[in-house]
Structure formats: C-alpha cells, structure tokens
Structure 1
C-alpha cells in the first residue's frame, strides 16, 4: 500500500504548483544558477547509480538472454512503434507537442529502483530485474536520442545528435563509469544510505520539473490546452499502459517463461523512468519546445504505474505462494 501514498507524487504536484505561482524564479537571473545545480545534480545521480551497480552480479545474470532481450525489446521497440502507429493512422499535426510527449515517454528507459522493488514484492526474478533495470538506462543513452532525432531534427535545426551524445557521455555515462569503478569502495556505503540517495535523486528531478513547467507557464503555453485535451492525455496514458501490459504478458507466455520470469517481463517491460525523462528532457529537447507539456505523459504514466503495478505485485505474490 506504500505506493498509493508515495510522497514523491505529492512533491510533483507541489513543484507544478510552485511553477504556476512563481514561474519567474526559473526565467530570471536565478534561473542560470538553477540550471547549474540541476546539471551537477544529474551527474551525481548517475555517479551514485554507477556506485550501486554490482559488476559481478550483472555478469552472472547475462545467461538469461531470452528474458533480457524480451524486456529491452518491449521497452525500446514495442513502446515507440505503438506511438508511431498512432502518428500514422491519426492526424496529430494540431496536437504535435502532446503526441511528442507520448513519443518521448515511449523511448525512455525503464525504472531501476521501483522495478526491482515491485518484482521482489511480487516474488519474481529479482536478479533479472536488477540486470534489466540497470542495463536499460545505459541502452537508453544511445537509443532514446536516435528515436527522438526522427522528429525533433525536422522541427528544430538546433538538434545536433553528435553534440547531444557528447553531453550525455559527459554528464551521464562518464559518472556511471566512475561510480562503477568505485563500487568496491563505496558500494556498501551507498546501500546503507539508499534512503538519502533516493531523496537526493528525487529532489533534483523535482527541480527539473519545476523549471520545465515554470518556463511553460511563463510563456503561457498551457493556455492552448483545454481540460478535454488533458483528459485525453490521461486516457491515452491508460490505454498505452494496458496495451503494453497485454503485449508483455503475451510475449512471455509465447516463450513459456516461468511465472517468476513472466512477472519480471511484465513489471520491467511496462515501466518508464521519470528520472531519465526529466534528465533527458533537459539534455535532448530544445528549450524552444514546451517542456512542461511534453513531460505531462511521463508524469501521469509514472503515477499510474506505481498504483497499478503495486496492486498487481501483491496479487502475484499470493499466486506465486500458492504455486510453491
């Protein structure tokens, strides 16, 4: 039941409310200082992410390749292809930014901590969940910008893929590698301070959310979106989640995965990372785009996946106990 009262969701609402009430904090001279804090915070998030990775554990989990391939295919292929299908069959020109928000959601990596926690609660394959959640973030560094370049490059001439990769390597991959090398020295410390590190991550994400929405409010970008459009985004997020959940189950049953591997496929394949979404929005998306609007789908999806997956986790836990 903890996920139903996740204070991080309350923090998101407060950040948006502050952005609405005090948008000038993000666009005046103090906005540059917030940018620097956010950039440093992003690098520290991924440094600690690398510290917490266990190289020997990841090496040991490489053997279950069919499960890993399925999870990553759902995350980086099935998700984007579903949203591209919508683009092909439904005219979205008048709502391109909202559609781009869904596409941005679709190309993001899976979550790390919540995926592992939920798989553990559901009595799924926890080592495989750790491997897939960890490797997903690294794959996303290269795959997500490629997907986004299909559309942003045509809309924004400032979208420079080589420059973006350089920034991703400098701000994200390099800190992960440094952290990975320091795992043997700092890994136990990171495990003892998981609570503090988790809230450090969330604080930086809340700062990025505040800045994104503040700039959108300051430019009055939400005035063009009606309550019906916002409701449509919510319904679209729900339909996307149900579709991906169904596809993940169908694939895992097709490959005759064990119950534990089915749980891992479903929980890891359907999850999307708000942490990566906030960070990637800052790095990958041009400032001229309405970042607040584009972040809406991933924020709603984040809340939905916490509620629904926590419900299924408890249900699957009882099912696994019955089969033991």
Structure 2
C-alpha cells in the first residue's frame, strides 16, 4: 500500500487536476467559455485528437482474441450500463434529497459512462486475468457509450428540455466516433510509429483532459460554484464515489462467481465492470453540458471515482496476482 501511495504522490496527472481546480477557483476568467485562452474552442480540437489517438492505438488482433467469452461480455456491459444506473436510482431514493441537485446529477452521469480501456486492461494484466477479454469489453463499452451514455442522460434530462438528444449524439459522433474510426483506418500505416512514441501521445491525451477539467471548473466557479456549495461539496463527492465503487466491486465479483466464471474471467469482469472512464467522461461532458454553468459539479464525481478506482483496484490486482496457481 505504501508503494501505491508513493506512486500516487508522484502522479503528475493527479497533481495537474488539483492544480487545474485551484487555478480555476482563483482565476476563472482564464479558462471560462470565451475567456482569455478560449478553452471552449481548444476543447473541440483536443477531444478530436484524443479519440484519434485511441483509434490508432487499438489492436484489432487483441479484439478478435477476446471475442469468444460471451457470458463475460454480457455481464460487463450489463453492469456498465444497467447495474450502475439502477444503483444510482436506489441511492437517489435514499439520500438524494440531502445532496445538491447538480451533484446528484453528476453521480448519475458517472453511472452512465462507459468503462475505461487503459486501466481496466492494465489491472487485469497485473492480476493475471483474461487480458484479451478485458481489451474486448473495455473497447466495446467505449463504443457503446458513444450512444448509450447520451441516451441514458436524456432519460433524466430530456423531458425538461435541457438536452437535445439528436444534437448531442451528432456532436459525440463527430468528435468521438469519427476520429476513432479514422485512427483505426490509419493504423496499418501509422500503427508502428504510434507504438514507438506512445509515451508521448499519452502525455498529449492527459494534457487535453486537464484542459477540459480546467475549462469546466472555470465556468462553474464563474457561476458561483464555491459560494453556493463550499468545501462540503468535496466531502460529499468523495463519500459518494467511495460508496458506489465499494458496492459495484462487491456485486461484480459476486455475480462472476455465481455465474461460475474461471478466476481469469472473474478478474476481467471485476475490473472492467466496475471502472468508469475519465478519458471519455470529461470530453463527453463538455459536449453534453458545455453550455451549463454547473458542468464543474457534474464532472466532480468522475474525477474522484477515477482516482479511487486506480488505488483500490491496484490493491485488488496485487492480491489476485499473489494467488497460487493450481496447475503450477
């Protein structure tokens, strides 16, 4: 655990998110829509670039190797787009009246997001699980999320007229799906080059996310984020994210064992079925809620959930990896 805490302390991305929130809190005019750096315009180019890099970096061979375990795929996708929203509905009935409405919607947005590719696969590999199955499910979840996430959000917002589903899906397809497909098409030509410079493209990917976080919080601070909610908002978000993660981790492992999964498939199910993507979540939030001043509150749960899932799942992966192999 001490090693993991040290790694988190050296994580420049985590430090960057904290710095983005702090700077936005004191100088929101820099990153707000129409502000000094015109972050709202830069965001569109950044989102396109992120998903182009995701597309060019994805190996279709790994996808083909992981396609056969259909029960694993069903369980992961049901958890990602079914169990999570149902869990939010139960929690909303229980505690929703005591939480800010914007924060509660942020938790719903968290629950509607797809899984994440990079950390799901990394944790599954560390735990000696079904890596091809994790790659397939995380990728499938990302592609399904382009359509299912705005659809789920529209069920909550659509009736109030706050979200135009058709326009939202068009923008998401234009800035998320299109560059992903272009990246896949160009992979045979540029895939080898991408592999050599992947560590640099990862920096670009995270840098764009930090820009989006900075822009979102600048808009919310300019609208009175801290004067309306205060530090108690951070405490509520951290507790809510921890509760959701704990419940889903327990449920996913319980469901995998009840379904009779081998340990390798259980690992993939737990790590893919409990994860939510920050890399897609922040860009998608910018496209869905960019005109809403409360966007900073909406993305706050996924920011906390992202760090919690990395920490907790790293501990779980090491425990899985330490298991005794009966065939050894």
In structure 1, what is the Cα distance between the partners aligned to 2:56 and 2:177? 12
Does the Cα contact within 8 Å between 2:96 and 2:104 map onto a contact in 1?
no
Match of 2:102 in 1: 97
Residue 159 and residue 286 in structure 1: after superposition, are their counterparts in 2 closer, same or farther (change >3 A)? farther
Does the Cα contact within 8 Å between 2:32 and 2:40 map onto a contact in 1?
no
Please say if 1:109 is aligned against 2:114: yes
Alpha-carbon RMSD across the aligned residues, in angstroms, is 1.9
In structure 2, what is the Cα distance between the partners aligned to 1:158 and 1:152? 6
Structure 2 stretches lacking a partner, 5+ long:
none
* CA distances 1:277-311 after superposition (whole Å, capped 9, x unpaired): 11111011152240111111111101101111111
In structure 2, what is the Cα distance between the partners aligned to 1:174 and 1:316? 37
Q: Which moved more, 1:220-229 or 1:202-211?
A: 220-229
Match of 2:138 in 1: 133
Q: Which moved more, 1:230-239 or 1:42-51?
A: 230-239
Match of 2:188 in 1: 184
Residue 208 and residue 229 in structure 1: after superposition, are their counterparts in 2 closer, same or farther (change >3 A)? closer
Q: Give the match's secondary structure for 1:27.
A: coil
Match of 1:27 in 2: 32
Find the partner of 1:144 among 139, 144, 149: 149
Count of residue pairs brought into register by the alignment: 323
**What is the CA-CA distance between 1:61 and the residue it aligns to?**
2.0
Residue 93 and residue 32 in structure 1: after superposition, are their counterparts in 2 closer, same or farther (change >3 A)? farther
* CA distances 1:91-146 after superposition (whole Å, capped 9, x unpaired): 53862111101000001111111111111111111111111111111000010001
Find the partner of 2:304 among 300, 305, 308: 300
Does the Cα contact within 8 Å between 1:47 and 1:176 map onto a contact in 2?
yes
Does the Cα contact within 8 Å between 1:249 and 1:265 map onto a contact in 2?
yes
In structure 2, what is the Cα distance between the partners aligned to 1:317 and 1:181? 36
Find the partner of 1:277 among 278, 281, 290: 281
Q: Which moved more, 1:33-42 or 1:293-302?
A: 33-42
In structure 1, what is the Cα distance between the partners aligned to 2:96 and 2:295? 22
In structure 1, what is the Cα distance between the partners aligned to 2:63 and 2:33? 45
In structure 2, what is the Cα distance between the partners aligned to 1:310 and 1:46? 26
Q: Give the match's secondary structure for 1:257.
A: coil
Find the partner of 1:243 among 237, 247, 251: 247
Match of 1:231 in 2: 235
Please say if 1:54 is aligned against 2:41: no
Residue 70 and residue 24 in structure 1: after superposition, are their counterparts in 2 closer, same or farther (change >3 A)? same
In structure 2, what is the Cα distance between the partners aligned to 1:15 and 1:74? 32
In structure 1, what is the Cα distance between the partners aligned to 2:212 and 2:166? 23
Match of 1:66 in 2: 71
In structure 2, what is the Cα distance between the partners aligned to 1:35 and 1:148? 22
Structure 1 residue ranges, 4+ long, deviating more than 6 angstroms after superposition: none
Length-normalised TM-score, structure 2: 0.93
In structure 2, what is the Cα distance between the partners aligned to 1:7 and 1:45? 18
In structure 2, what is the Cα distance between the partners aligned to 1:303 and 1:213? 18
Residue 323 and residue 210 in structure 1: after superposition, are their counterparts in 2 closer, same or farther (change >3 A)? farther
Length-normalised TM-score, structure 1: 0.94
In structure 2, what is the Cα distance between the partners aligned to 1:24 and 1:144? 30
**What is the CA-CA distance between 1:32 and the residue it aligns to?**
6.8
In structure 1, what is the Cα distance between the partners aligned to 2:8 and 2:29? 33
In structure 1, what is the Cα distance between the partners aligned to 2:322 and 2:284? 37
Please say if 1:202 is aligned against 2:225: no
